[in-house]
Amino acid sequence: MAGFASALRKAGCLTIAATVLLGGANLGAEPPSKNTSNSTAARDRLIKSANGWIYVNGQWVHPDGYKFVNNKIVRTTAKTGRAYPEPPGKLAQENPAKLAPRTRSAAAPSAEDARTAAEKAAEVRRKNLTPRPAPQTGSHL
């Protein structure tokens, strides 16, 4: 009987030890902060290289009213007499798609837009079917 209890105790200890060791093996993931800091640093370098220029519809546009076309700065709506801004840097010119503002595509409406359209139709239907009170034009006393 003593041998059986000793074997059971050893098996229990081995099971607990294996559970602890194998359970800790899954915790070897790296923190996501390293990846985000690298991408953030790259994005910051790209923005700094752009010198305030924005890539929109295949053209470099500056908020002060200038365009960068054929490696030349062209005044569009800026006042005369102002100094031209610096052109976008080489890094920004190589990666213009990363600076372009993200827009939604008109071809693929989101589920939220479809739902709101359905809700609007239901609201109109409900308003049309509810009875309205008779107009109160005055009393006949």
SS (H, E, C) the chain: CHHHHHHHHHHHHHHHHHHHHHHHHHHCCCCCHHHHHHHHHHHHHHHHHHCCCEEECCEEEECCCEEEECCEEEECCCCCCCCCCCCCCHHHHHCHHHHCCCCCCCCCCCHHHHHHHHHHHHHHHHHHHCCCCCCCCCCCC
> Does residue 128 carry a pLDDT above 80?
yes
Tokens of 69: 């076309």
pTM of the shown model: 0.43
Looking at residue 93, what is its pLDDT?
A: 82
Q: How confident is the model at residue 64 (pLDDT cuts 50, 70, 90)?
A: confident
**Centroid of chain to Cα 64:** 27
Q: Give the mean model confidence (pLDDT) for residues 46-66.
A: 84
For the cut 70, the answer to whether the pLDDT of residue 20 exceeds it is no
Task: Report the distance separating Cα 41 and Cα 44, nearest Å.
Answer: 5
